[in-house]
Amino acid sequence: MALKVTLKPQERVIIGGAVVTNSNGRTELVIENDVPILREKDIMKDHEATTPCRRIYFVIQLMYIDDKNLVEHHGTYWKLIQDVLKAAPSMLGLIDQMSDHILGGRYYKALKIARKLIDYEQEVTENVRNPGRSSI
């Protein structure tokens, strides 16, 4: 089944490991085979992986787009989640969901759960910095 991707001017996308940058106008691409695709809004650069959960997202992204080094990325992932669970056992539910997707080779779905993990990490961090402060 083909996937239609509409790119804004200057928007980047990773398609099958290649970074593609759109020119000045809107562009529609039709991807006719099954390859990893990440839109710019979903791409995390290595210097942005500044927290434990952001590093987890980054390594899952690498699993998705860099299958040549999949074994190495898996090893890094399992080490990272062990560290996160030691520090924050309350993340177990999200990590279990994410890990199920990884074990099934569904890396894009795992990335979506990793986004939730980053949001949760940020919420926990803010609560530690500002105890008793309402989020309303």
- Tens digit of each residue's pLDDT (9 = 90 or more) over 43-68: 999 999 999 999 999 999 999 999 89
Q: Determine, yes or no, domain membership for 135.
A: no
Q: 55 with 16, same domain?
A: no
Number of domains making up the chain:
2
pTM: 0.88
Q: Determine, yes or no, domain membership for 134.
A: no
Q: Determine, yes or no, domain membership for 79.
A: yes
What domain range is 23 assigned to? 3-42
pLDDT band at 115 (very low <50, low <70, confident <90, very high): very high
Q: 13 with 33, same domain?
A: yes
Residue 136: its pLDDT value, please?
43
Q: 55 with 113, same domain?
A: yes
Q: 23 with 60, same domain?
A: no
What strands, in cross-sheet order, belong to the sheet with 37-39? 18-21, 12-15, 37-39
Q: Facing residues of 30 across strands? A: 4
What average pLDDT does this structure show over 95-99?
Answer: 97
Q: 56 with 35, same domain?
A: no
**Whether the predicted pLDDT of 29 surpasses 60:** yes
Residue 133: its pLDDT value, please?
58
pLDDT-wise least confident of 20-29, 52-61, 119-128: 119-128
Q: 17 with 70, same domain?
A: no
Of 3, 1, 2, 43, the closest CA to residue 20 belongs to 43
Strands (DSSP E) contained in 1-136 are 3-7, 12-15, 18-21, 27-31, 37-39
Task: Report DSSP state, residue 25.
Answer: S
What average pLDDT does this structure show over 114-136?
Answer: 80
Of 132, 64, 51, 53, the closest CA to residue 94 belongs to 53
With contact defined as beta carbons under 8 Å apart, do 80 and 99 qualify? no
Residue 124: its pLDDT value, please?
85
Q: Determine, yes or no, domain membership for 136.
A: no
Q: 27 with 56, same domain?
A: no
